[in-house]
Amino acid sequence: MTLRGTTYRHAPGFVAGDRPKVVTGRFEFDDSYTLTRAKATGAYQGLEAALAKTPTEVHEMVTGTTLLGRGGAGFPAGVKWGLLAKGVWPRYLVVNGDESEPGTYKDRLLMERDPHCLIEGVLIACYAAGLSRCFFYIRGEMALAQERMATALNEAYVAGYIGRNILGSNFSVDVVLHWGAGAYVVGEETALIESLEGNRGMPRLKPPYFPAAIGLYGKPTVVNNVETLANLPWIARNGIEAYTAIGTETSPGTRMVAVSGHVKRPGVYEIVNGTTTFRELLYGDDFCGGIRDDNDLKAFVPGGGSAPWFIEDQLDLPFEGKLIGPAGSMLGSGAVMVMDSTTDIPAAALTLCRFYAHESCGKCVPCREGGSWLERILTRIVEGEGRRADLDLLLEVGESICPGTFPHAASKRLGIGSAPFPYRMTTICFVGPSAYAPVHSALTLFPEEFEQRVAVNDDRRVLIPLAVSSD
């Protein structure tokens, strides 16, 4: 299938391999999104298996698998459901399909290519946790995903999988399709709820830390990522032992990882969680097959644009949150972005920093002001107008967003103790710190690239005004 300049049937990029398939089992079929194909390949059998058990048994099964949330924070799904306020009704499910973290590309694939798997996951979650209405929130820019989900929901309603008395049981739930209108911050779960209530998508003050206590319309609410829910049908069909047999005890199962940037074979891979290392992923013949043009690796972002960067020293770390955190970053949303030796590091940092500055909702001052300051200072440096004092200014602005030590992969090289992820922050959500993470990573890992840029202006007496953002 040629993609360039032609109509495409669905999102490209998925690379199959000889690996366990938990969420991509149906991807080998071109018509994987239809109810006919889905049913022929086991769809809704997991739902039937779940309905044969009590809700508590299904909940305990999910808790027993230690299925970790795939949206970014990596919180166990079963535990999250267990936090729902007791005795308060109704309870809602909000599906987070607002995939917009830079580098992240997996939820859209799942929505376009296997919507029935997601619907089945939604139904299992609602049954297990007593959620009586579901809102499926898709990112506004994803027209085809919206279309595929709408078609699948329509089919599933008519076939009796959604709605009143599902499959003849006393289990009833409506799934309402909803989409956003372009705002990265809405991926934060309390901002998502605000948006769903028809408000500006700004994160809510915490505590309460979880919408499970007070969520949509002030009621207990579960917010789960698309990929997290996509695991449930397989788990319901195959059970705890089969799931935990894949991966490690603390990071079981598989996860979707998108590798982009300067690799030979960029793609979305379903990898074994906990054991697959970054070296395998970037260099393995089953995966990306090495850096483009056989260049050297300069740096890579291990878990989406918000994550502090890694360098070659961290290549042998596996996809295990318990090891990545102490090393100073996070696995986040399964997005690896690779920079080879030709990369202009300050410019790359600016690209990411600009994203977060642009996407700040404006609620917290350190992010609203700090993000755009970082962007403007960095722009000045990249355009050759920066001064040495600008480097300190970047650190100072960063300190106001994330006070104290900040994690970075250069700790060893700089002879200082490593600060684990996550860092302290003066903002409600992660957008502010995310604007600083790439800047800090770039500055500490590659200080010489910044110094070269600013050295030429050292003797200037007059400070050139900060450029006004072009966006």
Partner 1 sequence: MRFTDANVLLATDIVARYPVKKSALIPLLHLAQEQDGYVTNDAMAHIAELVEVTPAEVYGTATFYEMFKFEPVGRYVINICGTMSCALLGAHELIHHAEHTLGVRTGSTTPDGLITVNRAECQAACTEAPCLQVNYRYRYRVTPQDFDQLVDDLVSGRLAGEIPQHGVLAQVRQRIPVDRAVGAVPPESVTGPPVWYADESGAKS
As a whole number of angstroms, the distance between CA 464 and CA 460 comes to 9
Q: Using the rule CB under 8 A, is 258 a contact of partner 1? A: yes
Residues 6+ apart with CB under 8 A from 169: 51
Shortest Cβ 245–partner 1 spacing (Å): 28
As a whole number of angstroms, the distance between CA 235 and CA 215 comes to 27
As a whole number of angstroms, the distance between CA 299 and CA 339 comes to 5
Crossing angle of helices 431-445 and 365-382, in 10° steps, is 30
∠ CA(408), CA(341), CA(419), 5° rounding?
A: 5
- Residues numbered 207 to 226 that lie near partner 1 (CB under 8 A) are 217-219
Residues 6+ apart with CB under 8 A from 466: 373, 376, 377, 379, 380
- Residues numbered 356 to 385 that lie near partner 1 (CB under 8 A) are 358-359, 361
Q: What are phi and psi of 309, to 5 degrees?
A: -80, 155
How many residues bind to partner 1 according to rule CB under 8 A?
A: 95
Shortest Cβ 359–partner 1 spacing (Å): 7
Torsional class of 299: left (φ above 0), alpha (ψ -120 to 50), beta (otherwise) = beta
Shortest Cβ 213–partner 1 spacing (Å): 14
Q: Using the rule CB under 8 A, is 417 a contact of partner 1? A: no
Residues 6+ apart with CB under 8 A from 329: 302, 303, 307, 308, 309, 310, 314, 407, 409, 421
Shortest Cβ 324–partner 1 spacing (Å): 19
As a whole number of angstroms, the distance between CA 341 and CA 327 comes to 23
| Secondary structure element (H or E) that encloses residue 335, with its range | strand 335-340
- Residues numbered 61 to 120 that lie near partner 1 (CB under 8 A) are 86-87, 89-90, 99-105, 107-108
Structure tokens at 188: 């934060």
Q: Using the rule CB under 8 A, is 171 a contact of partner 1? A: yes
**33, 44, 81, 184: which one contacts partner 1 (CB under 8 A)?**
184
Shortest Cβ 179–partner 1 spacing (Å): 7
Q: Using the rule CB under 8 A, is 441 a contact of partner 1? A: no
Q: Using the rule CB under 8 A, is 351 a contact of partner 1? A: yes
**Half-sphere exposure of residue 101, counting CA atoms within 13 Å on the CB side?**
32
**200, 412, 413, 460: which one contacts partner 1 (CB under 8 A)?**
200
Q: Using the rule CB under 8 A, is 174 a contact of partner 1? A: yes
CB nearer partner 1, residue 121 or residue 252: 121
Q: Which window, 42-50, 169-177, 389-397, 413-421, contacts partner 1 (CB under 8 A)?
A: 169-177
Shortest Cβ 49–partner 1 spacing (Å): 16
**228, 260, 329, 457: which one contacts partner 1 (CB under 8 A)?**
260
Q: Which window, 23-31, 173-181, 225-233, 309-317, contacts partner 1 (CB under 8 A)?
A: 173-181
Q: Using the rule CB under 8 A, is 469 a contact of partner 1? A: no
- Residues numbered 145 to 164 that lie near partner 1 (CB under 8 A) are 146-147, 150-151, 153-154, 157-158, 160, 162-164
Structure tokens at 365: 């001052």
- Residues numbered 271 to 310 that lie near partner 1 (CB under 8 A) are 301, 305
CB nearer partner 1, residue 8 or residue 365: 8
